[in-house]
A = this chain, B = another copy of it.
Amino acid sequence: MSEKAFQDYYPDDLNHCYGCGRLNKHGLQIKSYWDGDESVCTFHPKPYHMGNPGYVYGGLMASLIDCHGTGTAAAAAYRKEGRAMDTDPPLRFFTASLHVDYVRPTPLDGPLKLRGRVKEIKGRKVVVTITLAAQGNVCVRGEVMAVQMREHLRKGDR
């Protein structure tokens, strides 16, 4: 596993996202890394991130899947180009669609472990499938279709 997270390479002007922005002090600040061909992310939910008492809120898990998905998409695009994430031009992705299946209730007392895998990478589009596990059980499955931002979109007008 690499030491620096995907999100630590995002350009500062695109690093304010509530889910994964290093510069959003109110946000979740998730961190994603390669583990071989899979991407991994561990998140420690707060007690107030509950849905029903004792279980994690589904919207939080959708958010984690969303940002771990776009992060994995970016990292995969750099890998495909055979270059490191600190090289230019920067590649950043937004979410076109998100699907989440809640397989079983997710206990709130412990870390959530996400694992992502690139299902498809073609042109500006990357599809990432993600599992979210707690206490050793896969509780949620997600899929993110991420699309690479065009340069001008970074200026705030996509």
A residues with CB within 8 A of B: 13-14, 16-19, 21, 24-27, 46, 48-55, 57-60, 62-64, 66-67, 94-102, 105, 154, 156, 158
Interface contact A98-B100, CB-CB below 8 Å: yes
Given A96-B102, A101-B96, is A63 in contact with B52 using a C-beta cutoff of 8 Å? no
CB distance from A131 to the nearest CB of B (A): 15
Residues of B within 8 A of A46 (CB): 26
Report the separation of the CA atoms of residues A17 and B64 in the bound assembly, to the nearest whole angstrom. Answer: 17
* A/B interface sample: 10 pairs, CB < 8 A: A18-B48, A21-B50, A24-B50, A52-B94, A57-B63, A59-B62, A97-B99, A98-B102, A99-B99, A99-B100
Interface contact B18-A50, CB-CB below 8 Å: yes
Report the separation of the CA atoms of residues A52 and B67 in the bound assembly, to the nearest whole angstrom. Answer: 12
CB distance from A31 to the nearest CB of B (A): 16
For A56, the closest partner residue in chain B by CB is B18
Report the separation of the CA atoms of residues A53 and B13 in the bound assembly, to the nearest whole angstrom. Answer: 8
Interface contact B66-A156, CB-CB below 8 Å: no
Given A27-B48, A98-B100, is A59 in contact with B66 using a C-beta cutoff of 8 Å? yes
Report the separation of the CA atoms of residues A16 and B55 in the bound assembly, to the nearest whole angstrom. Answer: 10
Residues of B within 8 A of A55 (CB): 156
The 3 closest A-B pairs by CB, nearest first: A59-B63, A26-B48, A18-B57
